[in-house]
Amino acid sequence: MNSTGFKTPLGYAILEGDENGLSRVYVAEDKPKFSETVPEPLQQAKIQLKEYFLGKRETFNLKINPEGTDFQKKVWELLLKIPFGKTSSYLELSKEFGNTKAIRAVAAANGRNPLWIIVPCHRVIGSDGSLTGYAGGLWRKKWLLEHEQPQKQQSLF
């Protein structure tokens, strides 16, 4: 497994993967050591994430290879459908999954998402609009959601 990373406004983004694709993206407070050799999937992920933080990218076109159960992977596929600048709730995801009784399992799978930002688990909020738990810290979730809000035009009058 290879890794690379870079500094972001939220800490160091760490990317892990190999020729089969990006398997993990997470944030760390301190700069870790990285591999000397960076395979193409990680190079592309690094470029695209930098563009995201610069406000120049809203979607990702990457080869991903996250590890998880079939159930988790299905939930992560649903997360990928939440558009940039939009949010969903755990209840809405459960409905889309086809089983509202699975709301806690859907929430747990959301929390185990290994691809920070790429699979946008930060776009899931409580049904009442509240920011709910986030592995990277609620302040990061708030930052990401604000970063994805369309710029509001300032009135001239």
Q: What is the pLDDT of residue 151?
A: 58
pLDDT in tens, 36-68: 677 788 999 999 999 999 999 999 999 999 999
Query: pTM higher than 0.85 for the full model?
Result: yes
CATH superfamily ID and name for 2-53: Methylated DNA-protein cysteine methyltransferase domain (3.30.160.70)
Where in the chain are all domains bearing CATH 3.30.160.70? 2-53
The CATH number of the domain covering residues in 70-147:
1.10.10.10
Is 114 among the residues known to form the active site?
A: no
Where in the chain are all domains bearing CATH 1.10.10.10? 70-147
Catalytic pick from 14, 121, 124, 144?
121
Q: What is the pLDDT of residue 113?
A: 96
Residue ranges in the chain whose pLDDT is less than 70: 36, 150-157
Residue 55's SS3 state is coil
Q: What is the pLDDT of residue 106?
A: 94
Q: How far is CA 71 from CA 8, 58, 105, 133, 144, in A?
A: 31, 26, 9, 20, 26
Residue 7's SS3 state is strand
Whether the Cβ atoms of residue 35 and residue 4 lie closer than 8 Å to each other: yes
Whether the Cβ atoms of residue 26 and residue 14 lie closer than 8 Å to each other: yes
